[in-house]
């Protein structure tokens, strides 16, 4: 039976590690582009053991470390970016908080958002809580904290518009949409969710002077980060495939709008082999070992939100 995997990376800080991963995978899989993946799912291309490489966000390490390896090996990939971040050259919200003083920001943050929830939330991680809020609230909290504490913003961490165009013109890298501002779409109301999806596609098409056929949901967990509403919005566009971060191998009856991807960011070959092998059960294995994961926290936080809160629909 043919096996099909889609991998998702974010930052590549070790070029040799990335190269070794691709060379190992090449022993068992044929690398395909997003368009080839779509044609395989339609039955136009025969089924075989295939692997598609994807990257989310457009961190500069993609251009500096990943792209040269992909180019040298002739391996196609898809890069999902938020066009507003690229054109404004302002970091994603999760990049902006990296160097905040943890204790200071935590105190400020909890004071700002405690009344949103129906129970104390001090035992939850700030990252889990932030991912339970609408994007404009996240940005407002960060902007206020930066202003009050006179914090100097981190240098821009992602690719530039000119680098994006170079990647697009290479013919090797497919560019896909990743919303405008990288919100967790399930936290937004109907209008904002639709605007973030459709406008990101439109803006990206303007930048590239080309059609955009692929999309990746921010964070990407089905039923936590997006749902039927977002799928229906995408069905109204020209998007062919929409990618999630559901840890699983692709089956040929998988929905074109919930394509699973296995996340890789570190580890030796043995670790990578095991993660791919047990992809579907990876969350369960993590829960057994660590007892609490971000996904579990966020489900609980959603239940704690006030019924008349900001994300009511």
Chunked in runs of 10, what are the mean pLDDT values of the chain (313 residues)?
Answer: 88 96 95 94 79 98 98 98 95 94 89 75 84 94 94 95 97 97 96 98 97 97 95 97 94 90 90 84 57 74 62 41
Residue 253 is predicted with a pLDDT of 80
Cα-based distances in Å from 164 to 96, 237, 292: 21, 23, 38
Six token digits for residue 180: 């405008």
Residue 70 is predicted with a pLDDT of 98
User: Whose CA is closest to 28, among 288, 312, 273, 206?
Assistant: 273
Segment (H or E) for 242: strand 241-243
Six token digits for residue 64: 């500096």
Are the CB atoms for 295 and 221 separated by under 8 Å?
yes
204 contact partners, CB below 8 Å, separation of at least 6: 81, 83, 175, 177, 212
What distance in Å separates the CA atoms of residue 221 and residue 218, rounded to the nearest whole number?
Answer: 8
283 contact partners, CB below 8 Å, separation of at least 6: 247, 293, 295
Are the CB atoms for 188 and 165 separated by under 8 Å?
no
Phi, psi of 183 (to 5 degrees): -80, 160
The CATH number that domain 4-90+158-277 falls under is 3.20.20.370
Domain ranges of the chain: 4-90+158-277, 92-155+292-313
């Amino acid at each position: 039976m043919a096996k099909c995997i889609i991998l998702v990376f974010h930052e590549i800080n070790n070029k040799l590690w990335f190269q070794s991963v691709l060379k190992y995978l090449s022993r068992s899989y044929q690398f395909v582009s997003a368009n080839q993946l779509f044609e395989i799912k339609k039955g136009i291309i025969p089924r075989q053991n295939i692997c598609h490489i994807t990257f989310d966000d457009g961190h500069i390490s993609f251009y500096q470390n990943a792209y040269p390896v992909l180019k040298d090996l002739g391996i196609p990939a898809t890069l999902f970016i938020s066009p507003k971040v690229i054109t404004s050259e302002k970091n994603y919200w999760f990049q902006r908080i990296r160097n905040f003083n943890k204790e200071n920001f935590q105190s400020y943050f909890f004071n700002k958002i405690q009344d949103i929830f129906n129970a104390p939330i001090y035992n939850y991680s700030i990252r889990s809580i932030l991912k339970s809020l609408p994007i404009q609230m996240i940005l407002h909290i960060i902007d206020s904290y930066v202003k009050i504490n006179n914090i100097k913003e981190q240098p821009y961490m992602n690719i530039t518009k000119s680098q994006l165009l170079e990647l697009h013109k290479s013919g090797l890298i497919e560019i896909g949409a990743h919303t405008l501002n990288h919100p967790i779409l399930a936290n937004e109301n109907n209008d904002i969710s639709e605007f973030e999806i459709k406008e990101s596609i439109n803006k990206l098409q303007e930048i590239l002077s080309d059609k955009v056929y692929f999309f990746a949901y921010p964070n990407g967990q089905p039923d936590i980060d997006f749902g039927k509403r977002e799928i229906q919005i995408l069905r109204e566009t020209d998007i062919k495939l929409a990618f999630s971060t559901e840890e699983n191998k692709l089956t040929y009856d998988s929905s074109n709008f919930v394509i699973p991807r296995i996340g890789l960011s570190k580890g030796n070959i043995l670790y990578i082999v095991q993660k791919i092998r047990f992809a579907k059960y990876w969350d369960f294995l993590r829960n057994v070992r660590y007892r609490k994961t971000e996904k579990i926290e966020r489900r609980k936080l959603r239940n704690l939100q006030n019924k008349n809160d900001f994300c009511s629909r």
